[in-house]
Amino acid sequence: MNATPDRASRPRLSDEVAGHLRSAIMSGELAAGDFIRIDRVAEDLSLSATPVREALLVLRAEGFVELRPNRGFEILGISSTDVRDLFAAQAFLYGEVAARAAAVASDAETRALGELHDGFLRAASTRDYPELFRVNYRFTREVSRISKATKLSLLFGIAARYVPRSLFEAMVRNDSYWITAEAGASSHILAAIRAHDQDWARRESSSHVSAVGEMMVKYMETTSTFLARPASTTGSASS
């Protein structure tokens, strides 16, 4: 990466840094109560301090960190309630997107969804995790595209941003139940879209996302991701 990015590239770089830090916070690699050093992050990522500082301001707006006067950016704790709230938002949004898709999907589009679902089942049968995650993501993205609900899809994507891919993938690799649940839910969502049944599509999509949220809460509690250290044990301040 360019250590001195130009103005046009900064939004992209700051988004990448925000994603990197967000994932580290959600996975527990960076603990609640720690302070993030801008200079250290910049050095680790071979960047200037500017995109790192911009990324931290984004994370502050999202509620992941707080700026403490004369101390820097402190990582805030993440509770099971936070995660359930995020998945509740995703459940509502994806339910609406799937319902819109059911209303307008063409035969060609449902065939494409069917091919993706078949690809998911093939990957599941061999536990080909990279392909499993890729096809699952493409299925969700295709439902969003078919729906033509641009703003709803955008909001769904923003809500999904709070669940880092690395943590989700770790959960799936440690609990094969998600694969079974996802295969069943995708089959029902596909059937609902083929039948142009909006209520069925909304119900299946929403309930499945909520169930995945509960799986995530259970996994994060098991791995102590929610545990926050007392403020007295905080680390070094940001530069």
Rounded Cα–Cα distance for residues 187 and 201 (Å):
11
Look at residues 77, 102, 117 and tell me which one is the last residue of a structural domain. 77
Q: What is the percent of the chain where pLDDT is above 90?
A: 59
The pLDDT of residue 164 is 64
Residue 98 lies in a domain: yes
Band (pLDDT 50/70/90 cuts) for residue 233 is: very low
31 close to 228: Cβ distance less than 8 angstroms: yes
The domain in which residue 70 lies consists of: 10-77
For 162-172, write each residue's pLDDT tens digit.
776 777 888 89
84 CB contacts (<8 Å, ≥6 apart)? Answer: 213, 214, 217
Residue 188 lies in a domain: yes
Look at residues 20, 49, 77 and tell me which one is the last residue of a structural domain. 77
Stretch among 7-11, 21-25, 56-60, 166-170 having the lowest mean pLDDT: 7-11
How many structural domains does the chain have? Answer: 2
Compute, in degrees rounded to 10, the torsion defined by CA atoms 7, 10, 11, 13: 160
For 186-216, write each residue's pLDDT tens digit.
999 999 999 999 999 999 999 999 999 999 8
Residue 230 lies in a domain: no
Q: Are residues 88 and 201 in the same domain?
A: yes
Q: Is pLDDT at 10 greater than 50 in this prediction?
A: no
Q: Are residues 192 and 128 in the same domain?
A: yes
Q: Is pLDDT at 238 greater than 70 in this prediction?
A: no
Q: Is 58 exposed, middle or buried (0-12, 13-18, 19+ CB in 10 A)?
A: middle
Residue 229 lies in a domain: no
CATH number at residue 44: 1.10.10.10
